[in-house]
Structure 1
């Protein structure tokens, strides 16, 4: 479970690194946006790498990646609604529902072990 929490925290940092400048950094030169984004992304990596290392074994690599993508979308939805003040359209909800189905299939059945 600690891997899930670390993935959530890492995705909060990465969302701000990738998209935070859209609200406040429009007047900044691109080099400054990149430098600030990379600084934030370093914190993300410091959380994501241990999250995957701790989670591998409890989850497969495929499950970790699928979980990370869903966490990314959940974090981004909250970010887009609160920080960017964007509206959530019905088609985004449908797309998210399809991803939820993907998560079901990734976790509902026993995955084969790693190749020898």
Structure 2
């Protein structure tokens, strides 16, 4: 399980970079041309890949590909919601809770049986 925890930590860090690359320019570069935002986002995304690729390689040692992808999706939501609320100043919505429950169900079904189809 230590291997999966290492992968999860790297995925959290990579998601912080990628969430900022995808959405940070909407606040920080809103008055700049789109191509400036695209180049800046691409530069930030490079750091995301330097964390994400090793995370997936580490995680693939002990997790199936669907489990690895589900872990990524849960981490994505866990990073995006606080970013959206605190950085982009979006209101907290009940739908975030509903989305989290849906993901918990997906996690259950993906992780409930190891090695079975």
TM-score in terms of structure 1 length: 0.92
Distance (whole Å) between structure 1 residues aligned to residue 116 and residue 50 of structure 2: 29
Q: How far apart, in 1, do the equivalents of 2:99 and 2:59 lie?
A: 26
The alignment status of 1:97 with 2:65, answered yes or no, reads no
Q: Which ranges of structure 2 fall in alignment gaps of 5 or more residues?
A: none
Instruction: Name the residue aligned to 2:111.
Output: 107
Q: Counterpart of 1:20 in 2: which secondary structure? A: helix
1:51 equivalent to 2:55? Answer: yes
CA distance in 2, matches of 1:56, 1:21: 32
Partner Cα separation in structure 2 for residue 91 and residue 47 of structure 1: 30
Q: Shift of the alpha carbon at 1:112?
A: 3.2
List 4+ stretches of structure 1 deviating above 6 A: none
Deviation of the 1:100 alpha carbon? 1.1
Moved more, 81-90 or 70-79: 81-90
TM-score, with length taken from structure 2: 0.91
Q: Size of the alignment, in residue pairs?
A: 113
